[in-house]
């Protein structure tokens, strides 16, 4: 082998293990799911027939699926906004010069705590907190804020908001830690220059902090959008998509199609639709990263 060819092939040799793994774990499953979505019920039916885009027509004309999309959008958008606000607030508190290093350390550990728990621990903990006989109802009734027990997860009117609250609690530390890292990277000179120009705290925040954090914030929003869109475990373990379908999201809809109705083609179709949305966000994310670079 001549040295030129060897030089050309060497990088591909280094890439090969990763490419093989990605093909087995990512490309093949995705192709299989896309293929399943084009057939009349696969797996349950040993000789499935090719039906083209018929499954997509069925899914996109299913009222329950659109209902799930509505809930998913509420869940995702409110979660992202709350994650951003809480994460930013706590990051600013942890970055302030008015707190000592030890105090900051304690706050940092406490604020980051929700991120350390697995979805099952979070679900069990919050089910106990929100139970009609749970801690939150006890506090509310003791303080005479309410005279009757509130069924946070059992009421069709507030179950989605309750599940969103749980997701907000479990997800804000990621924002907090990322924003805190960004804040610590902003040069103090910029704040000094802003102060010399007569900027108060609010102007410094909007004129210096936000523009400097912009790349991080955009990345956070895009990643959070994709992660929250796919959130399944938390919803499944707290409400299972109910009562009735009050907290049904696209991920729980897909699970039910596959594992309780055994409609694997429909589940695959739903999964492909979700994949398309996530891919679009992924492309935007990559473009944004490239633009920043």
Partner 1 sequence: MKAFAKKALVCAAAIAMTMGMATSAKAEDVTLEFQQWWGVELPDGALQEICDGFTAESGVKIELLSNPYADTKTQVAAGAATGTMADVVGLDGSWVYDFAKQEAIANLSELMTADGYDTAQLSDQIQYQGNTYMIPVVNFAYPLYVNMDILEEAGVEAIPTTWTEFLDACAKIKENTDKAAYCIPLSTEAPNGIQNQFSTWLWASGGTLMKDGKPALTDNEMLTKVVDFFKTMKDNGYLTDGVEAMKEQDMVNEFENGRLAFMVDGISHLTTIKTESPDLHFTYAPMPKEDSYEGQSGMDVANWGIGIAENCEHKAEAMKFIEYLMSPEVNAKLSQLANAFPGNNTAAPDYSANDELFLTAFEIFQNGYAINEFTGAPTAEDLMRSMNEQLILYFDGDTASVADMLTATQTAWEAAYE
Question: Taking Cα atoms as reference points, which of 84, 91, 161 lies closest to residue 126?
Answer: 161
What is the spatial distance between Cα 61 and Cα 53, in angstroms, rounded to a whole number? 12
Q: 18 or 260: whose CB is closer to partner 1?
A: 260
Residue 202 DSSP symbol: H
Task: Dihedral sign for Cα 237, 241, 246, 250, please.
Answer: positive
**Among residue numbers 132 through 151, which ones bind partner 1 (CB under 8 A)?**
132-133, 149, 151
Report the nearest approach of partner 1 to the CB of residue 145 (Å). 17
> Rounded to 5 degrees, what angle do the CA atoms 182, 188, 190 make?
95
| Shortest reach from residue 73's CB to partner 1, in Å | 20
Q: Which is nearer to partner 1, 99 or 131 (CB)?
A: 131
Answer yes or no whether residue 131 interacts with partner 1 by CB under 8 A.
yes
Please say which residue, 104 or 149, places its beta carbon nearer to partner 1: 149
Q: What is the nearest approach in angstroms of partner 1 to the Cβ of residue 247?
A: 8
Query: Residue 215 interacts with partner 1 (CB under 8 A)?
Result: no
Burial-class residue 228 by CB neighbours within 10 Å (0-12, 13-18, 19+).
buried
Residue closer to partner 1 (CB basis): 209 or 247: 247
3-state SS class at 144: coil
Smallest distance from partner 1 to CB 46, Å: 6
**Of 14-22, 106-114, 219-227, 231-239, which part binds partner 1 (CB under 8 A)?**
231-239
Is the CB of residue 163 less than 8 Å from the CB of residue 238? yes
Closest CA to 268 of 53, 79, 23: 53
Nearer to partner 1, 65 or 236 (CB): 236
Number of residues binding to partner 1, judged by CB under 8 A: 31
Size of the chain, expressed as the number of residues it contains: 293
Subset of 232-271 contacting partner 1 (CB under 8 A): 236-245, 256, 258-262, 264
Residues 149-178 interacting with partner 1 (rule: CB under 8 A): 149, 151, 153-156, 159
Report 43-82 residues binding partner 1 (CB under 8 A). Answer: 43-44, 46
Q: Write phi, then psi, for 186 (nearest 5 degrees).
A: -80, 130
State how far the Cα of 39 lies from the Cα of 48, in Å rounded to an integer: 6
Contacts to partner 1 from residues 87-126, by CB under 8 A: none
CB nearer to partner 1: give 14 or 138: 138
Taking the complex as a whole, how short is the minimal distance between the CB of residue 53 and partner 1, in angstroms?
22
Alpha helix stretches (DSSP H) within the chain? 3-22, 28-36, 54-60, 63-95, 101-112, 119-130, 135-142, 159-184, 188-196, 201-204, 210-229, 233-238, 250-259, 264-292
**Residue 186 Cβ vs partner 1, minimum distance, rounded to whole Å:** 45
| Smallest distance, partner 1 to C-beta of residue 33, A | 12
Nearer to partner 1, 207 or 242 (CB): 242
- Shortest gap between Cβ of 217 and partner 1 (angstroms)? 35
Report helix angle 264-292 to 210-229, nearest 10: 170
> Which residues lie near partner 1 (CB under 8 A)?
43-44, 46, 127, 131-133, 149, 151, 153-156, 159, 236-245, 256, 258-262, 264
């Amino acid at each position: 082998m001549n040295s030129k060819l060897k030089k050309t092939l060497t990088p591909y040799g280094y890439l090969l293990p990763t490419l093989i793994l990605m093909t087995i774990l990512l490309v093949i499953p995705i192709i299989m799911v896309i293929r399943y979505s084009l057939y009349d019920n696969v797996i349950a039916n040993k000789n499935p027939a090719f039906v083209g885009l018929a499954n997509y027509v069925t899914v996109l004309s299913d009222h329950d699926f659109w209902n799930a999309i509505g809930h998913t959008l509420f869940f995702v958008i409110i979660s992202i906004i709350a994650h951003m606000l809480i994460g930013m607030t706590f990051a600013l508190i942890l970055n302030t010069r008015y707190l000592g290093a030890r105090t900051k350390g304690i706050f940092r550990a406490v604020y980051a705590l929700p991120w350390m728990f697995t979805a099952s621990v979070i679900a069990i903990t919050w089910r106990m907190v929100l139970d009609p006989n749970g801690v939150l109802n006890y506090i509310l009734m003791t303080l005479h804020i309410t005279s009757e027990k509130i069924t946070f997860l059992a009421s069709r009117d507030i179950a989605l908001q309750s599940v969103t609250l749980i997701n907000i609690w479990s997800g804000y530390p990621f924002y907090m830690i990322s924003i805190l890292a960004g804040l610590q990277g902003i040069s103090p000179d910029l704040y000094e220059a802003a102060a010399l120009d007569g900027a108060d705290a609010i102007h410094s925040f909007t004129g210096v902090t936000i523009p400097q954090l912009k790349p991080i914030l955009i990345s956070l929003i895009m990643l959070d959008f994709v992660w929250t869109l796919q959130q399944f475990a938390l919803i499944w373990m707290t409400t299972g998509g109910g009562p009735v379908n009050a907290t049904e999201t696209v991920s729980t809809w897909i699970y039910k199609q596959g594992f309780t109705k055994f409609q694997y083609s429909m589940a695959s179709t739903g999964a492909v639709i979700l994949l398309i949305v996530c891919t679009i966000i992924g492309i935007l994310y990559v473009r944004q990263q490239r633009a920043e670079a």
